[in-house]
Amino acid sequence: MNNESTRQQQPQQQPSSSEVPRQPNGRLRFPDAFLHPSEGENNHMLSLGGRMYKVQLIDEKGRSLEEYIRTVGQYSIRRERESFNRHNVQCFIRECFYRDNYVGAPWLIKPNIAQYYCIDSTLPQHLQEAQNDFLKSNKRRKLMQTRTTDDRMAERKAKKEESMLQKAKLKEERERQKEERKRQVAVKYPLEDLDLPIYRKDPSLNWLLVDMSPQKCDSKEIIIPYPSGGRSLRPMPHKESSIPPELFDSFLSVWSFLTVFAEPLKVSAYSVDEFEGALFHNTHQPKATVLVEYNACLLNVIINERNDDTSNEIINGDVVDQYIEDLEDQEESDEEEDTKEERKPVLPTVERGWRDKEHLRISSRWDHKELRASTERRGWESSLIGCLNDVATPDMIPDLNEILQHLVPRANSTAAEREKRYPTLSLKQKLDILEFLVNVVNESNLIKNYMEYCQEQLSEYRKQKIELNKESKALSFRRIEMDKRDRAEKRAKGNNGEEEEEEHLDSSDSSDHSDNESDESDSSEDQNLSREGRHQSRQEKLKQKQREREEMEHVRKKVHAEQREVAKAKNQEQKNKANERRKLEEEEKVLKKKEEHLERCMRRYMTLRIRPLGKDRFYNQYIYLDNIGVSNTYGTGRLYVHSPTDVDIQLLLERDYMTDLPERHYGYGGGRSFVLKLMKDQGLVEESEWLENRMDELISGNPSEYKGWWKYYSEPEEIEQLLSWLNPKGIRESKLKNELLKQQANIIDSIKKRITASTKPAEPETPKRTTRAKSASKN
């Protein structure tokens, strides 16, 4: 046992080449020759160098033989060239593989080979599916070959019946679509925007129209079939602004008034960006020129009105006097009642509050003279303090006491101290002061006279517009007549062409017939001439033919001249028509320019009330504030979008309770749920949430103060996208789109001016002042 283990641990000793038995010729037998190469072979291998390989023999079953291992050089390894050639490979494939006879069939290992070598012959899924399809079709083909004539006839009959049934269904569907198209043609547009059929057509059901009125559709699980209506999404407006949303109405109304009435107020029209920047200016030096000019020009109007002994009760101080008298009456009544409750004093007891003695001392002569631009509006702060004490009341300005306390920092304050106080007022306080001044000035004689002047100008422009409309109708009538004439000439030309072609065919037939007759006559004449040749000379024949040629040439020239005259007349007629049409187009261009200029002039004098351009399907208002009044800036450079009013929201809520609507084949849109769902599906999620909350407040009966949202468009591309979103088949959007198209050039021009101004380097702010126009001076 121990001997055996010891023997196993020792390495096996290979016998030397001298101990191995040899053949009679002295050579070693295989595999001994493999294990014991000759010394010459070893020396040759070492001399060649190169890589060395370990070679091991295997048996007929592919198992390695551990005792037959040898190391050889790379140049001692040879391969028999004929053992691996094309023929051998083909034989190998033929003996080991097979392939089915369908298109795309793969080469597969024969089952016995796969089983012997334990090779998995399972096909991938896509190849297995292809094979199954082939087997099914092959089986069907075999069944087809074995079917009888009756089976074939029955199958053919079934296919024919199925085809006829399919054709009947297609015909029925075509008839339904044809009837639907007729109904659509019968719809008279524009309609109520939210009742347009396009939103309620289901594209997955051959555009089946669905009636979504609240009485016929469940409002809880509402699904709108085609919310986009085949139009692109509305561009998302911007809402970035430094002005808080609750102050934006006041901010925009103040700027709009000062811009529209810049001419009678004798102040330059600043842009909305300049006004916004000035409101946030909180230092004394440099001054916020925009606010200084705005406050000064409004105070000047009040000062002039007071000096002219105006009858306006607010400006002349009657309202303040009446307010003080009411407080005194209240004090006397409280004393008579002799109650234990504490009564309110006649005037507020706040230190340096409204009607304080210090304020009255500071502003005792505030309305004696205008604040002139030549003196940089010096002393306007004192005039403002006097105006707030003599014209305003605590009812008009909620934080009047706090404002006055801020403007007058202490008793016996100096003018230099008071000048530094206004810029540090809060944004709301500055807007409250400007809004009060605007409301007071709006009732002045100056503004009323200017508005009357603007109305006179508008009346004159409306007369001109009526004349331009008459010219436009005349040009349209001329164009219609020209188009009718051209269409009639084309039809006549087509008929003449057909007649000429028929005549040409007839003439060609007759000419062929005449040629045949002439040939026959010529042949007969030749015969006669041959018989009577002796009676006519050759010279006479030549003269006869010459006369005939001359007559034919004369006729040809005459016809050619007539054709030239006809062609010349036609060309002249065509030239006259082209000149006439070109002249018409030039007149239309001139008329269009006149209309655009007239629209700009009319918009300039539309100071009575600024109206929105229109409303969209959800009652959002679109407002363009530029080009009204005299403006030397771009204005806002924006198209503003404002939320629906409470009145519009009530109209939307009433859609849920419309029960007496007449029947119509294209149905109606839904109520509140339909509107909110349509807004969300069109990407207006934030606006739909605001609208839903406001609807809930109005339904509750205790709504809060209306606080709508403001957004704007400030890029030319956004205006184009908005126009493509609007559907002109709706009543509101049809009007809005027409107004936007009228003002599109002006809006884009304002936007571009604003973009250009924002890219320019900032310049030092200088006071601007307009000169009074002749019209204003007359008033």
Task: Please tell me whether residue 208 adopts helix, strand or coil conformation.
Answer: strand
Find which of 22-31, 447-456, 727-736, 749-758 is predicted with most confidence, using mean pLDDT. Answer: 727-736
d(CA 703, CA 458): 40
Q: What is the DSSP letter of 730?
A: B
pLDDT digits (tens, 9 = 90+) for 695-737: 999 999 888 888 899 999 999 999 999 999 999 999 999 999 9
Maximum Cα–Cα distance across the chain: 165
Is residue 622 a contact partner of residue 636, using CB atoms and an 8 Å limit?
no
- Average pLDDT over the chain, rounded to whole? 82
Is the confidence at residue 32, as pLDDT, over 60?
yes
In DSSP terms, 623 is beta-bridged to: 640
- Cβ–Cβ under 8 Å, residues 669 and 646: no
| Count of other CB atoms within 10 angstroms of residue 184 | 15
401 and 360 housed in the same domain? yes
- Count CA atoms closer than 13 A to 767's CA, side-chain side: 18
Q: What is the pLDDT of residues 297-325, one digit of tens each?
A: 999 999 999 998 888 888 888 888 888 88
d(CA 220, CA 227): 17
Structure tokens at 502: 């028929």
**Of all residues in the chain, what percent carry a pLDDT higher than 90?**
35
558 and 425, same structural domain?
Answer: no
Top mean pLDDT of 65-74, 331-340, 378-387, 628-637 is at: 378-387
| One domain, residues 73 and 93 | no
Sheet holding 614-615, edge to edge: 614-615, 621-623, 639-642, 710-713
Examine the pLDDT at 502 and tell me if it is beyond 90: no
- Kindly report, residue by residue over 190-246, the tens digit of the pLDDT: 999 999 999 998 888 878 888 888 888 776 778 899 999 999 999 999 988 899 989
pLDDT surpasses 50 at 12: no
Q: How far is CA 600 from the centre of its chain?
A: 27
Domain boundary (146, 170, 192) is at 146
Instruction: Classify residue 247: in a domain, yes or no.
Output: no
| Whether residue 595 sits in one domain with residue 491 | yes
Q: Tell me if residue 291 falls in helix, strand or coil.
A: helix
Question: What are phi and psi for residue 200, nearest 5 degrees?
Answer: -110, 15
Residues 284 and 358 in one domain: yes
Rounded distance between C-alpha atoms, residue 290 and residue 277, angstroms: 9
Give mean pLDDT, residues 494-521. Answer: 56
Both structure tokens of 207: 């555009």
With respect to residue 458, please indicate whether it lies within any of the assigned structural domains: no
What is the number of helices (H) and of strands (E) in the chain?
25, 10
pLDDT of 779 > 70? The answer is no
Average pLDDT over residues 596-601: 86
Q: Are residues 556 and 602 in the same domain?
A: yes
Predicted local confidence at residue 1, as pLDDT: 38
Residues 30 and 91 in one domain: no
pLDDT at 45: 63
Contact between residue 710 and residue 642 where contact means Cβ atoms under 8 Å apart: yes
Separation of alpha carbons 301 and 445, rounded Å: 9
Residue 201's H or E segment, with its range, is strand 201-202
Both structure tokens of 658: 């419309």
Q: Is residue 355 part of a domain?
A: yes
Q: Give the confidence band of 40 by pLDDT, cuts at 50, 70, 90.
A: low
**What is the predicted pLDDT for the residue at 509?**
53
Q: Please name which of 173, 425, 185 lies closest in space to residue 295, comparing C-alpha atoms.
A: 425
What token pair was written down for 515?
């040629």
Question: What pLDDT, on the 0 to 100 scale, is given for residue 776?
Answer: 41
3-state secondary structure of 667: coil
Nearest CA to 273 out of 242, 296, 231 is that of: 242
pLDDT at 2: 40
Q: Is the pLDDT of residue 439 over 90?
A: yes
- The whole-number average pLDDT for the span 444-453 is 92
Number of domains comprising the chain: 5
Is residue 121, in this structure, part of any structural domain at all?
yes
Where do runs of H (alpha helix) occur along 605-684? 646-654, 672-681
Closest CA to 421 of 476, 359, 477: 359
Instruction: Tell me if 322 is assigned to some domain.
Output: yes
| Residue 158 to residues 140, 142, 144, 154, 163, Cα–Cα distance (Å) | 17, 21, 16, 6, 9
Decide if 151 is inside a domain.
Answer: no
Q: What distance in Å separates the CA atoms of residue 127 and residue 725, rounded to the nearest whole number?
A: 51
User: Is a pLDDT exceeding 70 seen at residue 489?
Assistant: yes
Same domain, 680 and 770: yes
* Per-residue pLDDT tens digits for 70-83: 888 877 777 766 67
Cβ–Cβ under 8 Å, residues 251 and 276: yes
Q: Give dist(CA 695, CA 703) in Å, integer.
A: 9
- On whether residue 297 sits in a domain, the answer given is yes
User: Is 367 found in the same domain as 478?
Assistant: no
Percent helix, strand and coil across the chain, each rounded to 5?
A: 60, 5, 35
Res. 674 pLDDT band, cuts 50 70 90: very high
> What confidence score (pLDDT) does residue 778 get?
42
Taking the C-alpha atoms of residue 625 and residue 621, their distance in angstroms, rounded to an integer, is 13
Average pLDDT over residues 338-344: 49
Domain holding 643, by residue range, is: 201-229+609-778
- CA-based nearest residue to 768, from 122, 330, 259: 259
- For 184, residues 6+ apart whose C-beta sits below 8 A from its C-beta are 197, 666
pLDDT at 446: 93
pLDDT at residue 339, as a whole number:
52
State the DSSP H helix or E strand holding residue 64, giving kind and residue range, or none if neither: strand 64-73
Choose the most confident range, by mean pLDDT, from 344-348, 355-359, 439-443.
439-443
Alpha-helix runs per DSSP H in 187-288? 245-260, 262-265, 272-279
Burial state string for 361-393 with b = 16 or more CB within 10 A and e = fewer than 16: ebbeebbeebbebeeebebbbbbbbbbbbbbbb
Does residue 8 have a pLDDT over 80?
Answer: no
Question: How far is the C-alpha of 739 from the C-alpha of 611, rounded, in Å?
Answer: 11
Residue 602 is predicted with a pLDDT of 86
Assess whether 474 and 421 both reside in one domain: no
Tell me, what's the pLDDT at 498? 59
What HEC string does 387-414 produce? HHHHCCCCCCCCCHHHHHHHHCCCCCCC
HEC assignment per residue over 566-591: HHHHHHHHHHHHHHHHHHHHHHHHHH
- Domain membership of residue 157 (yes or no) is no
Residue bearing the bigger pLDDT, 447 or 3: 447
Rounded to 5 degrees, what are φ and ψ at 107? -80, 130
Provide the pLDDT for residue 60: 79
- Asked if residue 696 and residue 673 are part of one domain, the reply reads yes
Q: Among residues 633, 709, 769, which one has the least CA distance to residue 252?
A: 709
pLDDT digits (tens, 9 = 90+) for 739-775: 999 999 989 999 999 999 888 765 555 555 444 443 4
Q: What burial class does residue 61 get, using C-beta atoms within 10 Å of its C-beta: 0-12 exposed, 13-18 middle, 19+ buried?
A: exposed
Same domain, 126 and 54: no
